[in-house]
Structures are given as C-alpha cells and as structure tokens.
Amino acid sequence: MTSLKDEAENYEAPKTKNIADLEIVSLANEVFEEENTDGEGKPYKYKYMDVEGEKHRVPNSVLDEIKTIIKENPEVTHIKVIKTGTGMNTSYKVVQKAVDTEQKIKPEKVS
C-alpha cells in the first residue's frame, strides 16, 4: 500500500493523443466514441483509436478527408495525418501511404 502523497506524486493524468502523432495508420483500425466534459462542464463526444493501449483522437475533419480519399481510391489501406497549427487554428491533411506488402505494418509513434 502507498500513501496518498506517494500516489499523488506518481500520478499521471490520462491523455488522449492525436492521430497525427502516428507515423502510419491502417484504415482497418477500430474507432471508438467517448464522452467527456470541457472546462465549463459541458459534455462533448469525440472519436478515437486505441493503438497499443493509448487513445489517439480522430477529428471529424480527418474522417471527412479519409472519406474523400476512399471515394477516389477504394483500395487505399494506410494513411498519414499531418497536423498544422494549434488550438482553433489546427488543420489536418490526410495523405495515402504506400505499404510494402512484404512487411508487417504496425502503427508506430512519431518521435
């Protein structure tokens, strides 16, 4: 058993990362939805993928871009999401990623 002080000092709040933090993303990954509250206590929902036990948020604008890519190329299997800006000025660009079929692709974190 540990003391409350020790627990508090070792506590790390759970953080949701962003899909843009991943080097490559398989379109076969499952997407989940979760509800949270903002700073004013208002509830909001967001979508995320679980990659190796870490949540990566999937913005709606990314889903919309993926939809457009799939419409043009239904055979696409992997993408890369590029994030620019911060806060309200954040934007995302989604690009197709070529995959070497000889390799087993596992999503990797960006350094």
Confidence of residue 111 (pLDDT cuts 50, 70, 90): very low
Question: pTM for this one?
Answer: 0.75
Residue-range domain boundaries for the chain: 15-96
Element at 2 (helix H, strand E) = none
Rounded Cα gap, residues 21 and 39, in angstroms: 24
Which one has a higher pLDDT value, 66 or 99? 66
Digit-coded pLDDT (tens) for 70-107 = 999 999 999 999 999 998 899 999 999 987 654 444 55
Please write the tens of the pLDDT for every residue from 7-23: 999 988 778 899 999 99
Which helix (H) or strand (E) segment holds residue 45: the answer is strand 43-51
